[in-house]
Amino acid sequence: MVKRTFSFEFFPPKTPQGIDKLRATRDQLALLKPKFFSVTFGAGGSTRDHSLETVLDIQRAGYSAAPHLSCIGSTHDNIRAILQEYQTHGIRHIVALRGDLPSGMASTGEFRYANELVEFIRNESGDWFNIEVAAYPEYHPQARSAREDLLNFKRKVEAGANSAITQYFFNADAYFNFVDKCAALGVGLPIVPGIMPIGNFTQLARFSDACGAEIPRWMRKQMEAYSDDIESIRAFGLDVVTDLCERLLKAGAPGLHFYTLNQAALTTAIWQRLGL
């Protein structure tokens, strides 16, 4: 039986209150024994220092941390320095992404695509890091075609990725189709589904419009009908996302990666419903 990987994603807090809140969330989710906690990375220095502090705080608490690295605004020198710092602290897991260009930022930096970043990490540090990359079952919003997006993903894998985490989605068939298409290209690494618990429809709609994740029309209409009834939206979201996770795991998905938004309650509820 294949061992499944479960993991949780955080963003770095910017205030002392946010740090305390994240520690409480982390300790609650740690009871579920995830393989690692990943920590997002702000482009252009926006949260980079906070990312390092958060990663080291997770590690000091005795848990495994996987920091994100992004191409946007990065240079060879600063990525090299970050890699060396992570190696010094014994970090062995990285999520390597192209990242999104913040508004008002003119230059992408010295890495244009994630495959270049993966290749650089491998050249600099050999097999020290387990490298995760991003996958897009509903295709990257900036991809010119589905085929081009698949070939971009293949390039990241060939550059040295060990496994992949997907953008969140609510259509399981999109994930299964993507995995089948990758297999047909000879890409056989584990592709872990990204899972977004639903707690706030307005926020979810904003995220989804930005990242190209489709909210199926029936889901959108139902949540719109609930209007400001947060409890009904959360109850509906728990049902929908739990069903999605059950279907994915039953069909052989190699694990689940939860986008927690630094909250524990919804992820824990889904976990308990799944009987994990």
Catalytic residue set: 9
CA distances from 186 to 111, 140, 149, 182 (A): 26, 20, 15, 6
Give the three-state DSSP class for 14: coil
Task: Give the residue carrying structure tokens 């010295």.
Answer: 110
Rounded Cα–Cα distance for residues 79 and 67 (Å):
12
Q: Is 73 left (phi over 0), alpha (psi -120 to 50) or beta?
A: left
Cβ(132)–Cβ(95) below 8 Å: yes
Handedness of CA 13, 18, 20, 22 (dihedral sign): negative
Calpha distance 13→206 (Å, rounded):
20
Whether the CB-CB separation of 254 and 190 falls below 8 Å is answered with: yes
Gap between the Cα atoms of 132 and 159, Å rounded: 12
